Amino acid sequence: MTEPEIILHHYPRSPFAEKIRTAFGIKGLRWRSVVQPRMAPKPDLTALTGGYRRIPVMQIGADIFCDTRCILRELEHRFPRPSLYPAGTAGLADLIAAWADRDLFAASLGLVFGLHGDRFPPELHADRARFTAGRFDGWNSAKMRTRIFDLRQQLALQCGWIEQTLSHDNGFLLGDAPSAADLAVYHPLWYLQGNLETDSGLDGYPRMRTWMTRMDAIGHSTVEELAPEDALTIARDAAPAAIPRQNIDAANPWQPGRRVTVTPDDWGFDPVEGEVAWIGTDTIALRRNDPAVGAVTVHFSLRGFEIKAAAT
């Protein structure tokens, strides 16, 4: 049987998508690229996810993986070599990623919009203000500008940590091979550098700059374009992967069959409703039926999401 294709729903300038594109590069995977809009509405994406609009989303047949943590977990499971957790890095790589995906990302994004908010169209500011529900100064350029000095300080502090971590001169953050930690630290800096160039403040960290060049050289492996409607057809024609039987702790309120909502807890608070199909220690999968694509299983990371009983 041929392996189903990996489809990534993304857009070129998305830092979190760069995290996954670089993971494809590390693992040498072939993938199909579906370019989605960078603002809502995203009907060809939400038909698959049930409302989640963030980028990136990975699709394999009728299985949909939301959030980069969940995507990396699935890639590691299906394609274990080379590992995103080389010897000695499990645990520590995820701890570093938990900081970088939030704090380093928020400071980088804040600085780009503080310095160059005027370059982005008003519709994008309005969309992101709704998306983040008041965080990031409501995406008001004037307010964001007043934070530039503080954000530069925050970034200098965090870049100092990265520079020190790289003082072993082993090539990557946790040794001589790239890990999930490198992916998470790289994507906010890639975004900063791509938008601010010499004004990014990154030049004061020579080891970090060399490491960024090394990360950039990994590339994205082999990619082919796919039209959004073709991705929907692939989901419609596929059946979700079989869910293994589980023994679940009776105290767990989210037993298979229960209707729940799953909602991000940081930004982009769009709930997805479905029936619990699987729950593990780090992921939850919901079964849902969509008029456009039929039965799909939507997978989420447990970290960064809130589960609630559905109202109906």
Ligand X SMILES: N[C@@H](CCC(=O)N[C@@H](CS)C(=O)NCC(=O)O)C(=O)O
Q: Which is nearer to ligand X, 94 or 166 (CB)?
A: 94
Q: Which is nearer to ligand X, 15 or 25 (CB)?
A: 15
Query: First CA to last CA across the chain, in angstroms?
Result: 40
Q: Which is nearer to ligand X, 99 or 259 (CB)?
A: 99
DSSP state of 40: S
Q: How far apart are CA 112 and CA 196, in angstroms?
A: 7
In our burial notation (b when 16+ CB lie closer than 10 A, e otherwise), range 184-199 reads bbbbbbbbbbebbeee
Q: Which is nearer to ligand X, 26 or 55 (CB)?
A: 55
Least distance to ligand X, CB of residue 27, Å: 18
Number of H helices, E strands in the chain: 11, 10
Least distance to ligand X, CB of residue 112, Å: 12
Q: Which is nearer to ligand X, 101 or 290 (CB)?
A: 101
Least distance to ligand X, CB of residue 69, Å: 6
The one-letter amino acid code at 301 reads: S
Least distance to ligand X, CB of residue 170, Å: 26
The one-letter amino acid code at 118 reads: D
Q: Which is nearer to ligand X, 102 or 152 (CB)?
A: 102
DSSP state of 166: G
Least distance to ligand X, CB of residue 23, Å: 12
Least distance to ligand X, CB of residue 33, Å: 15
Q: Please compute, for residue 135, the number of CA atoms within 13 A of its CA located in the half-sphere on the CB side.
A: 14
Q: How far apart are CA 220 and CA 214, in angstroms?
A: 13
CB within 8 A of 283, min separation 6: which ones? 70, 73, 299, 300, 301, 302
CB within 8 A of 69, min separation 6: which ones? 97, 101, 282, 301, 303, 304
Rule CB under 6 A: which residues touch ligand X? 14-16, 38, 53-55, 67-69, 101, 131, 268, 304
What tokens appear for 294 in the block?
A: 């039929």
